[in-house]
């Protein structure tokens, strides 16, 4: 991978300024566009989706998250959209949208969480009319193309959930509810509610068939991407905690040492799960008989990362105390951002589903753990079982 250290430093500095000003993270997105990272998964680029690069992609998402959690969130949405285009677009659509990224550095986002009135699509011969709103639209007006999911009036394959890619030039300012986003953390992800009602677009904005968005294994296994951003944020909490204690000359204290050791154990556990889940993804993504294993592994990865991050946050708070968590200090923001970003959909059901898989395949936990794919030196996979 190219060295993006300077970008990460700049994104880290901007996180402080944007938090203080309360403005949109526009400068951060300009930097992201200039860095070339928007194109990194396109054909012929470093992490081309056509090849096996998931562990590297997860590490990249982690690195961006460690520099700036909000940008990590927005960048993950961009990568997710490009992956859905890679999987489900026609050749013509793929060329068009990929070219928008390659030539013009356009930013994409996936907004699937419905607002108070969910999205629906009414189709005519040549056009689609949208009704409803989306909540949690990370990147908001900074995004150039938004992938939104909604109920189509032309269901097929037993599903009515259709993807549509909306050029944001069609979404004028009054549709964006800037008052809708007053979260505890991740303010700079600018995840506003946006009303799409009445917007009409051409049929070639339809991506894939109804049901494609939720297809196994990609939808559920995709949780490993946001988990990687979260782990990067936990690494930032660890690094900032150490820097704070070093400034106070408190690193020789045995209790502080114990907490730092436990934080390092937690972060490294997270890294092992992320790396394994990336290898799992690459080795099993084209093997339908392995999809359930892959999804269960991704679900458990996501939940392990949540536990790891919660442990790091608790230990960090004990290490630095009240003074260390005072605004406008950097740590105060990291604590709020990570605590908030850890709240992802249906964590209880996620654990139940993974446990359900383990119970159904009652072959002993050693079988589940032992089938984890490991990448060998010549880039092939060995599956230990
Ligand atoms: C910073 C941030 C950025 C985001 N950006 C985007 C984005 O760009 N695009 C997008 O589509 N989404 C985005 N989201 C939304 C995200 O995908 C989730 O929809 C959101 O985080 C759900 O969180 P929740 O805690 O409210 O989930 P919930 O699923 O409501 O979980 C809350 C609690 O309720 C429990 N629970 C869930 N369902 C039930 C039930 N039926 N009965 C009883 N208990 C239940 C859960 O187990 C959990 O304990 C973002 C979220 C965050 C935090």
- Where residue 323 sits, what CATH number does that domain have? 1.20.140.10
Question: Taking 50 as the threshold, does the pLDDT of residue 385 lie above it?
Answer: no
The pLDDT tens digits of the residues spanning 40-76 come to 999 999 999 999 999 999 999 999 999 999 999 999 9
Residues 66 and 142 in one domain: no
279 and 336 in a common domain: yes
> Last residue of a domain, which of 211, 241, 273?
211
CB 255 within 8 A of CB 245: no
Question: Rounded distance, CA 349 to CA 51, Å?
Answer: 32
Predicted local confidence at residue 364, as pLDDT: 85
Judged against a pLDDT cut of 80, whether residue 375 lies above it is answered with no
Q: Which domain holds residue 10?
A: 5-107
Å from CA of 342 to ligand 1 middle: 9
- Mean pLDDT on 287-298: 96
Q: Which two tokens stand for residue 304?
A: 């392990």
The helix (run of H) or strand (run of E) holding residue 72 is: helix 69-88
Q: Are residues 328 and 255 in the same domain?
A: yes
Mean pLDDT of 190-207: 97
294 close to ligand 1 (CB < 6 Angstrom): no
Is the predicted pLDDT of residue 219 greater than 50, yes or no? yes
Output the pLDDT for position 177: 97
330 pLDDT band, cuts 50/70/90, is very high
pLDDT band at 368 (very low <50, low <70, confident <90, very high): confident
pLDDT, one tens digit per residue, over 77-119 is 999 999 999 999 999 999 999 999 999 999 999 999 988 899 9
C-alpha 45: how far from its chain's center? 20
Same domain, 184 and 258: no
376 has pLDDT over 80: no
Find the CATH number of the domain harbouring 38.
1.10.540.10
**pLDDT-based confidence at residue 373 (cuts at 50, 70, 90):** low
Atom 27 (ligand 1) nearest CA = 345
Same domain for 250 and 179? no
238 and 252 belong to one structural domain: yes
Residue 212 has pLDDT above 90, yes or no: yes
Question: pLDDT band for position 127 (50/70/90)?
Answer: very high
Among 164, 188, 211, the domain-final residue is 211
The alpha carbon of 351 and the centre of ligand 1 are apart by a number of angstroms equal to 15
For residue 231, name the pLDDT band (cuts at 50, 70, 90): very high
Same domain, 369 and 276: yes
Query: How many domains does one find in the chain?
Result: 3
What pTM was computed for the model?
0.96
**CATH number for the domain including 177?**
2.40.110.10
Confidence label for 379 from pLDDT (cuts 50, 70 and 90): low
Average pLDDT in the chain: 95
CB 116 within 8 A of CB 194: no
Please tell me the predicted confidence (pLDDT) of residue 328.
Answer: 87
The residue to mutate among 343, 350, 353, having the most atoms of ligand 1 within 8 angstroms of its beta carbon, is 343
Do 199 and 222 lie in one domain? The reply is no
Quick check: 77 and 138 in contact, CB under 8 A? yes
Q: Is the pLDDT of residue 378 over 50?
A: yes
Instruction: Say if residue 28 is in the same domain as residue 119.
Output: no
Mean pLDDT, residues 18-33: 96
Average pLDDT over residues 317-335: 96
Q: Are residues 238 and 365 in the same domain?
A: yes
Comparing CA positions, the residue from 192, 167, 139, 168 lying closest to residue 28 is 139
Q: Is the CB of 80 under 6 A from ligand 1?
A: no
pLDDT of the residue at 133: 97
The yes-or-no verdict on residue 383 having pLDDT over 60 is no
- Whole-number Å distance, alpha carbon 196 to ligand 1 midpoint, is 21
Neighbouring CB atoms inside 10 A of 90's CB total 12
Can you give the pLDDT at residue 116? 84
Among 59, 87, 107, which residue terminates a domain?
107
Q: Based on the domain organization, do 237 and 345 belong to the same domain?
A: yes
Q: Is the CB of 186 under 6 A from ligand 1?
A: yes
Q: Is the CB of 189 under 6 A from ligand 1?
A: yes
Q: Strand 373-375 and strand 381-383: pairing?
A: antiparallel
Same domain, 19 and 151: no
Q: Is the CB of 112 under 6 A from ligand 1?
A: yes
Q: Which of 276, 273, 274, 294 is nearest to 285 (CA)?
A: 294
Q: How far is the CA of 347 from the centre of ligand 1 (A)?
A: 8
Ligand 1 proximity of 345 Cβ (cutoff 6 Å) = yes
Strand partners, 383: 373
pLDDT at 192 over 50: yes
- The percentage of the chain sitting over the pLDDT mark of 90, rounded to a whole number, equals 91
């Amino acid at each position: 991978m190219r060295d993006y250290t300077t970008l990460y430093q700049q994104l880290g500095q901007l996180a402080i300024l944007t938090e203080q000003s309360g403005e949109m993270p526009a400068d951060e997105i300009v930097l992201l566009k200039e860095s070339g990272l928007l194109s990194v998964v396109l054909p012929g680029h470093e992490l081309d989706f056509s090849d096996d690069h998931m562990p590297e992609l997860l590490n990249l998402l982690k690195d961006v998250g460690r520099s700036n959690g909000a940008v990590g969130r927005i960048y993950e949405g961009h990568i997710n959209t490009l992956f859905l285009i890679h999987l489900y677009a026609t050749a013509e659509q793929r060329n068009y949208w990929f070219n928008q990224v390659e030539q013009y550095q356009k930013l994409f986002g996936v907004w699937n969480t419905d607002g108070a009135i969910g999205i629906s699509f009414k189709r005519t011969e040549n056009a689609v009319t949208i009704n409803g709103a989306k909540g949690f639209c990370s990147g908001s007006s900074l995004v150039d193309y938004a992938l939104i999911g909604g109920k189509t009036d032309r269901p097929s394959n037993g599903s009515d959930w259709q993807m549509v890619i909306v050029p944001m030039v069609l979404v004028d300012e009054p549709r964006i509810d800037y008052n809708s986003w007053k979260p505890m953390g991740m303010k700079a992800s600018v995840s506003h509610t946006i009303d799409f009602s009445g917007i009409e677009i051409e049929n070639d904005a339809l991506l894939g068939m109804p049901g494609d968005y939720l297809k196994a294994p990609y939808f559920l296994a995709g949780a490993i991407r946001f988990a990687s951003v979260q782990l990067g944020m936990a690494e930032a909490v660890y690094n900032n905690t150490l820097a704070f204690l070093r400034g106070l000359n408190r690193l020789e204290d045995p209790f502080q040492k114990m907490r730092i050791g436990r934080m390092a154990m937690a972060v490294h556990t997270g890294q092992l799960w992320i790396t394994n889940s990336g290898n799992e993804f690459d080795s099993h993504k084209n093997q339908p008989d392995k999809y359930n294993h892959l999804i269960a592994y991704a679900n458990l990865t996501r939940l392990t990362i949540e536990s790891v991050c919660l442990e790091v946050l608790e230990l960090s708070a004990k290490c630095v105390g009240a003074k260390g968590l005072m605004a406008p200090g950097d740590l105060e923001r990291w604590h709020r951002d990570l605590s908030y970003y850890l709240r992802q959909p249906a964590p209880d059901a996620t654990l139940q589903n993974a446990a359900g898989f383990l119970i159904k395949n009652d072959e002993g936990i050693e079988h589940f753990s032992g089938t984890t794919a490991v990448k060998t030196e010549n880039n092939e996979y060995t599956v230990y079982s």
